[in-house]
Structure 1
Amino acid sequence: MSQIVQGVIARAKGAPVETVNIVVPDPGPGEAVVKIATCGVCHTDLHYREGGINDEFPFLLGHEAAGIVESVGEGVTEIAPGDFVVLNWRAVCGQCRACLRGEPKYCFDSANAEQKMTIADGEGAGTELSPALGIGAFIEKTLVAAGQCTKVDPEADPAAVGLLGCGVMAGLGAAINTGEADRGKSVAVIGCGGVGVAAIAGAALAGSMPIIAVDIDPKKLVAASKLGATHTIDSSKVDPVEAIAEICDRYYPGAEGADVVVDAVGRPETWKQAFYARDLAGTVVLVGVPNPDMKIPDIPLIDVFGRGGQLKSSWYGDCLPSKDFPMLVDLYRDGRLDLDAFVTEKIGMDDVEEAFEKMHRGDVLRSVVVVE
């Protein structure tokens, strides 16, 4: 039997979010209903609300979530009721060309629930909801594809490990998986919000040196230092390209920049900084999400050829949730990865709109909704 629960939706572009009653169907074949414990407030949710992803309103927001599997549908064997899971938006299909060539981390046909959750009553009653990233987790219980549930250590704090569901995994993976940060390599990260600071934590975990944080907000640079940055650059005061080159030259004489530069902002001007802030044969990783109207900046093609190296985009930190989530949770439990540091505050569902404002001002790494 379907259930009626409360959740947070965005009805229209730019409109304040609302908490409404939502119908959650029983899970069908390959689906699961998950009782949400916590869900982080991610910038991607704000992108949805502002129409920056698509215009399939109304959206059920939230996707950085952890919770307990309540029920599963026909044919589901990999999870069972009572399992503690982190939700992911890469439920690999096993059949697309990426999966078949042995690269499921690039799965081109990730599964979502087939059934739709709907508005239960009042304005728009019966309207189907578009769940953010196929999850929709600012809600008491959500319906997802079973493959979107990744079992992890049930003793872990859901507020911390739920953030692996998007931003923290995106940043960690951008440094480690996409950028291939390692010992003997220098790393610079432009933009030190939640994703950028996670990239710094990933570079620290990999043993990179130096690790350079770049931002215009002193508070963010302080947070970056706490999570592994060895140097900070306030790019409102100095040219970050020159400053990065100067720091790297001290460690590796002759270096013209960092071996890996992560753009965690996703704007043409920051991508151009990343391009010129890398050493010869270095790697640029774009993990910040640009708006659809943004264009690659005007860079002479001879500079692309002459600097060599790699220009990459990082999709979800190029992660495979079934492998990466449990490993990172174990590192967290062992005290080697401070996921607690990303949780700035814990809030209720009715506080999401205010959390967007705090995020916009740069006051938080993550506000985390605790679902009662």
Structure 2
Amino acid sequence: MAWTVPAVISRRKGAPVETVDVVVPEPVAGEVVVDVAACGVCHTDLHYREGGINDDYPFLLGHEAAGTVSAVGEGVTNVAVGDTVVLNWRAVCGQCRACKRGRPQYCFATHNATQKMTLTDGTPLSPALGIGAFAPKTLVAAGQATRVDTSIYDGTGRSYDPAVAGLLGCGVMAGLGAAVNTAPVQRGDTVAVIGCGGVGAAAVAGAVLAGARRIVAIDLDDRKLGWARQLGATHTVNSRGLDEAGVVSAVQELTDGFGADVVIDAVGRPETWRQAFYARDLAGTVVLVGVPTPQMQLEVPLLDVFGRGGALKSSWYGDCLPERDFPQLLELHAQGRLPLDAFVSERIGLGDVEEAFATMARGEVLRSVVVL
């Protein structure tokens, strides 16, 4: 059987999103259907709407989601009907050269469901990051559904919340993972985070979790710096009006004159990457987790790259392995050691996504979450 459900789509570049009926097919081998409980509104969804990813319109938006498995295709063994899951956009193949070398978090052949969800007239939809979860149901590859055990919350005084758990599906995991997995931040390190929206704020939380002794949050917006403080930043720098040298000097002043051991660029622009490059200590690490556009170019003297040493890294989805990281992070949340609930700024309905994009653009939220 197939299901017809309301969903949020982007029909053309720059046009407001629409809520229309879409058809979710019955899963075939290797696929599952998930009843979506909640889905965060991410900048990536806005990039899809604006044509910043590709032009495969119409898009079925939404990808930071949690829910319950309601149907499984032939051969699916990792999840079963009734399982609570968090969706991820990197289904590990197990066969590519990265997987075979024991580095599945870098899987080079991640995959999506083979079938397409469609409009009622049969027009195929392109699901955002292979998920498309601004809908009560969605079809994904089985490997994109990560089972979580909600019993970890029993007796903790906390309760499992899909609006919180779903954020691990993209932005929060990207920022946390940039600090914990990619850098990785070591106990006693000094850390600077440039850009303190959802991803950067999560990087701050990740640095706290890793045991950083000093965390400098940098942003143009005092409201975002306030969020970073709440999540554990020890110092803040409002960079409005500061040039590259000013930002570098501010970080050095707050790190004993040396620069930070790790600088995380959660913006993804040439100017912020250069700030990160020069604001680190000698032999320090730069992590790029903010996503640049295809047109951006970077120019840095090669002698500076050689002379400063250290590591220049890009973080892909926080270099996470969902089946390892999602359960661990939720257990830390259940124990009160990771404030994931702080990222949920507001809960909205399916028809509020367009306004949520505007709210996000104004920097008024860490995350708006659609609750279904």
TM-score range normalised by the length of the shorter chain: over 0.9
Partner of 1:62: 62
Q: Which amino acid aligns with 1:161?
A: A
- State the Cα deviation string for residues 217-239 of structure 1 (Å, max 9, x = none): 00000000000100000001442
2:26 partner SS: coil
1:256 shift after superposition: 2.2
1:138 shift after superposition: 0.4
Partner of 2:269: 267
CA distance in 1, matches of 2:293, 2:19: 27
- Number of residue pairs matched? 361
Q: Which amino acid aligns with 2:127?
A: P
Partner of 2:178: 174
Q: Which amino acid aligns with 2:125?
A: L
CA distance in 2, matches of 1:287, 1:66: 23
- State the Cα deviation string for residues 273-329 of structure 1 (Å, max 9, x = none): 011111000110000011110111x21111010000111100000000000000000
CA distance in 1, matches of 2:212, 2:365: 26
Partner of 1:135: 131
Q: Which amino acid aligns with 1:85?
A: V
Confirm or deny that 1:126 pairs with 2:128: no
Identity within the alignment, %: 70
Q: Which amino acid aligns with 2:122?
A: G
- State the Cα deviation string for residues 93-129 of structure 1 (Å, max 9, x = none): 0001110111000001112100000001xxxx21100
Query: What TM-score do you get using the length of structure 2 for normalisation?
Result: 0.96
**Quick one: which of 149, 161, 186 aligns to 1:153?**
149
Partner of 1:252: none
CA distance in 1, matches of 2:160, 2:131: 21
1:270 partner SS: helix
1:4 shift after superposition: 0.3
2:357 partner SS: helix
Question: Is the 1:153–1:329 Cα contact (8 Å) retained in structure 2?
Answer: no
1:153 shift after superposition: 2.7
The runs of 4+ residues in structure 1 deviating greater than 3 Å are none
Partner of 1:18: 18
CA distance in 2, matches of 1:4, 1:81: 19
Question: Is the 1:38–1:162 Cα contact (8 Å) retained in structure 2?
Answer: yes
Partner of 2:296: 294
1:113 partner SS: coil
1:156 shift after superposition: 1.4
1:352 partner SS: helix
Q: Which amino acid aligns with 1:134?
A: G
Confirm or deny that 1:107 pairs with 2:107: yes
Confirm or deny that 1:245 pairs with 2:252: yes
Q: What's the Cα RMSD here?
A: 0.8
- State the Cα deviation string for residues 235-284 of structure 1 (Å, max 9, x = none): 014422101011111xxxxx521010000000111011011111000110
1:78 shift after superposition: 1.1
CA distance in 2, matches of 1:256, 1:130: 47
Question: Is the 1:60–1:138 Cα contact (8 Å) retained in structure 2?
Answer: yes
Query: What TM-score do you get using the length of structure 1 for normalisation?
Result: 0.96
Q: Which amino acid aligns with 2:134?
A: F
